[in-house]
Amino acid sequence: MPASRSFIAALLTLLLAACAASGPQPGSVQRLSPEELARIRPEAKPVVGLEEIIARSKTGQTPEAIIARLQETGTIHVLSSAQIVELSRQGVDQKVIDYLAEVQEKARQATLATQLADRDAQAALQLERERQRRLALQHQYDAWHWSLGYGAWGPRYGIGWGRGYYYDPFLRPWRRW
């Protein structure tokens, strides 16, 4: 008997050691090194400010070069009417102002399309949940369980009694609910 106890104790010790030597726990957090973070992080593109646009216009850069810089950085400005008039007064070419207004409108349309798609997805999900709920309720109150005291396999009398079949006045085959 003492040999079996020592065997069980050794087995338990071995099992506990195996559990303690396993890899990282499921809830543990593994941090990224700065090199890994720099590798996976997208590069930050500098935003071209309105002051820089005005300064480039005053130095004589072509509107195409200013627009190319705006496209390169992906800069989007939400401009008010007063800001557009001020840009025009400061000497910014009309092509640049038109480009800024066009990009602003495209960004607004993209945001609106995203919001509509999210709303439609939520509505579809809610509709599917309601359909599943109604289907579950339909099975709960199925006519199969309601008969004239003969049970589900007994004779079927009247319209909709027994197994849930009903009479079709258009002479189509008998159908279930």
Query: pLDDT, tens digit, for every residue of 98-134?
Result: 999 999 999 999 999 999 999 999 999 999 999 998 8
Q: Provide the 3-class DSSP secondary structure of residue 9.
A: helix
Is the pTM higher than 0.75? The answer reads no
Would you state the pLDDT for residue 128? 95
Taking CA atoms, 83 is separated from 52, 68, 99, 133, in Å, by 14, 21, 14, 54
For residues 84 and 48, the answer to whether their CB atoms sit within 8 Å is no
